[in-house]
Amino acid sequence: MAEPVTYTVECGGERIDVYLSALTGKTRSYIKQLSDCGGVLLNGERFKCGKILKTGDVLTVTEEEKTLNAEPEELPLEVIYEDDDLAVVNKRQGMSVHPGAGNKSGTLVNALLYRFGKLSAAGGEIRPGIVHRLDKDTSGVLLVAKNDKAHLSLSNQLSRREVKKKYLAVLEGNVKSDEGEIRTYMGRSPRDRKKMAVLPQGKEAITFYKVLQRFRSNCFAEFYIKTGRTHQIRVHAQYIGHPVVGDKTYGYSKQKFSLNGQLLHAAQITFKHPSTGEELTFMAPLPDYFKEVLTKLEREGE
């Protein structure tokens, strides 16, 4: 069996099969079959069909290992740094970090297994070596653990908020203040379970931003996140009325540029080496398509 995955319900009122289907992208019939076999537990126990969830309920999902399995695959991979304990890679836009439903190949994990062979097992069968993630259409620097000791050290640094990450983004419109803090609570959107949203309840999300360059109808900004919520920067950018350019989920329905995803790039990461304790900083340069948009925006003001 694969490693169990736990979900805490942030907004109740839905049937379990409906909730998990929207969350995972799998069919309700598959969820039901999995439940019948004991693969879905509610607060640690089996449940009757049609059970309605309450806020705070905990769902534990355990799938057959064969349904999700990561295999080595020769794929383009930019390695910024590597040693016996870890690697730092520059993930390209459009590449998922690990296999999932309907996405069992072509991921960063497949490429990492081909390149390095052995990775830490702490992330589970389909997430070997993965300490933290980036959205599929977000590019940039990402840490990979080669052994469990390194994985534990890096994970602890992340949980203690000691890892510093800088992101760069092009936003719609111009943010009024040159810099600021966005502090909200975030959770799964009650309208669309695949999306996140700012909610009265949920987990605290803190984002700092600074405008680096202003254009006629856009701005170029850097972001630092104190918390690491799913889609945090994208949701917060939408929340302040300036979504990330190219964001098909949280951005404008009509986009100015022909892009394959949002202009959000993880540009820099700082952490302590798990073996030596030395503070290290690594950077990933902006992708060409990102720089091309910045050039076009600069020309608009000429």
Question: Between the CA of residue 153 and those of 146, 232, 274, what are the distances in Å?
Answer: 12, 24, 6
Instruction: Check pLDDT > 70 for residue 65.
Output: no
Which residues have a Cβ under 8 Å from the Cβ of 151 and sit 6 or more positions away? 120, 122, 123, 129, 131, 145
If you average pLDDT over each of 40-54, 98-112, 196-210, which comes out highest? 196-210
**What digits encode the pLDDT tens for the residues 222-271?**
999 999 898 999 999 999 999 999 999 999 999 999 999 999 999 999 99
DSSP lists the bridge partners of residue 167 as: 223, 266
The full DSSP string for 216-246 is: SSEEEEEEEESS--TTHHHHHHHHTT-PBTT
* pLDDT score at 49: 67
Mean pLDDT along residues 52-67: 78
135 catalytic? Reply is yes
Structure tokens at 235: 């949701």
pLDDT over 70, % of the chain: 95
**Mind listing the domains of the chain with CATH numbers?**
5-67 (3.10.290.10), 78-160 (3.30.2350.10), 166-265 (3.30.2350.10)
- Cβ pair 97, 107 in contact under 8 A: yes
CA atoms within 13 A on the CB side of 236: 26
Instruction: Check pLDDT > 90 for residue 202.
Output: no
Q: Which of 17, 57, 135, 137 is catalytic?
A: 135
DSSP lists the bridge partners of residue 23 as: none
